[in-house]
Amino acid sequence: MFRKVIGAHAIFFLVLGRINNVLPGLQPGSTLQRIIHAYEKHHQKLLSPSLIPPTIQSSETRSIIHQPGGRPLRVYTNIPHVEEYLTHLKFAITKEPKDADIVWTSVQVDEDMKKAVGITEQQYINQFPFEASLVMKHHLAETIQKAHGSPQWLQPTYNLETHLSQLIGDYCVRKKEGLDNLWILKPWNMARTIDTTTGPKICQKYIEQPALFQGRKFDLRYIVLVRSMHPLELFLSDCFWARIANNQYSLDRSSLFEYETHFTVMNYRGTINHKNANDFVREFEEEHQVKWLDIHTRVRKMIRSVFEAAAGTHPEMQSPTSRAMYGVDVMLDSSFQPKLLEVTYCPDCTRACKYDMDIVVGEGGVAKASDFFNNVSLFE
């Protein structure tokens, strides 16, 4: 069940509603047959990805830390938790972007903004050029498909503005073969069902059989810091967060309207159900008789592949004065294989800054909240 949509998206669901009656009498040369052919052609194209590995070269990334006279780096930010928790003596907050060595902002820094506030090419910015290839869902799918085709960790994804016929064809083939056929609409650049009734969308195959935690759906938020795109330099935070739905998971028709059954982020609505990573991993391993390290290894490999796709298909992303932090949202299917949900620009890291967390992989230990924004080695 889906919310009402308008325009081309409403037409899509109207067409799907008629497909069940059309499929049994499908004739060669019919419109629906041509739609299915468009899907098959698209599917074959995904079997031949075109990733060209980026040329290995010396990094042109410049050091941020070393300033004349050893003065603190001036940081401009409009993000409250950055201003509050960036406390290392090597940094000082400034109120004017033009005076900053580092501009750390939640808004897009385009050419118009640079001219308006006086940002220059010598200042460091917390975003990479063309990062829309990662953080906008239709571009993310296109980037991955161009580089990797149809990897196991990306659900079938269609841009309704450009691939409506291919989506309907996929739906028809799945219907004919008796496969599960539940799909979810997502706006290009919003989250948590925001703007699901207006604006352009992708349609993505719903993960109908996710791994569950005590019967409830969950996802995982990982934090990735990118130092360079060419060569690719990634840092994966020791901390991750399990975000758990409040209700028991169900595919009953009536449950599809329940936010607290099918969505896991409760920071902005519903009752927050915090579970620290150490307890989550221990209880998950006991419940499912799996080793979390195996899952973590697969997630790391997937995250690396995502950013390799961006680096390979968009070499113009590299900038010597860019650093960026991204949130990568992941679900596990019932076989404990990772599935990419989205990549988020300027993720909310308040939780990492407030609470010390046990490190559940590698050599263990404790990730100090006070270190999250103050590990200066990552800025070098």
**6 in any annotated domain:** yes
Please give the DSSP secondary-structure letter assigned to residue 269: S
Q: CB-based burial of residue 59 (10 Å sphere; 0-12 exposed, 13-18 middle, 19+ buried)?
A: middle
**95 in any annotated domain:** no
Strands (E), the chain: 73-77, 91-93, 102-104, 124-125, 157-159, 183-187, 201-205, 212-213, 216-229, 232-244, 324-332, 338-345, 357-358, 366-367
pTM across the whole model: 0.86
Per-residue pLDDT of the chain (380 residues), as tens digits, is 333 333 444 444 444 554 555 454 455 557 888 999 999 999 999 988 765 555 545 555 666 666 666 789 999 999 999 999 999 999 999 999 999 999 999 999 999 999 999 999 999 999 999 999 999 999 999 999 999 999 999 999 999 999 999 999 999 999 999 999 989 899 988 654 454 556 899 999 999 999 999 999 999 999 999 999 999 999 999 889 999 999 898 887 766 666 565 555 545 455 666 788 999 999 999 999 999 999 999 999 999 999 999 999 999 999 999 999 999 999 999 999 999 999 999 999 988 899 888 888 877 788 898 898 987 665 55
Specify the pLDDT at position 70: 76
- Taking residue 183's Cβ as centre, other Cβ atoms within 10 Å add up to 22
3-state helix, strand, coil in the chain (%, to 5): 35, 20, 40
Residue with tokens 């056929």: 181
Specify the pLDDT at position 192: 46
Both tokens of residue 314? 């968009």
Both tokens of residue 370? 């006070």
CA distance 203 to 217: 20
**10 in any annotated domain:** yes
**266 in any annotated domain:** no
**Angle between the N-to-C axes of helices 137-148 and 292-313, in degrees from 0 to 180, rounded to the nearest 10:** 90
- Taking residue 180's Cβ as centre, other Cβ atoms within 10 Å add up to 12
**198 in any annotated domain:** yes
User: Which residue range is the domain that position 3 belongs to?
Assistant: 1-48+156-206
* CB neighbour burial string for 82-106, b if at least 16 within 10 angstroms, e if fewer: beebbebebbebbeebeebbbbbbe
Enumerate residues 6+ apart whose C-beta is below 8 A from 136: 188, 189
**194 in any annotated domain:** yes
Specify the pLDDT at position 266: 46
CA distance 307 to 346: 16
**351 in any annotated domain:** no
Closest CA to 136 of 152, 156, 157: 157
Chain center to CA of 296: 17
Distances (CA, A) of 42 to 32, 102, 139, 143, 186: 15, 43, 17, 15, 21
**19 in any annotated domain:** yes
Both tokens of residue 55? 């040329």
Based on the structure, what is the number of domains in the chain? 1
Closest CA to 172 of 21, 4, 42: 21
Closest CA to 153 of 145, 162, 165: 145
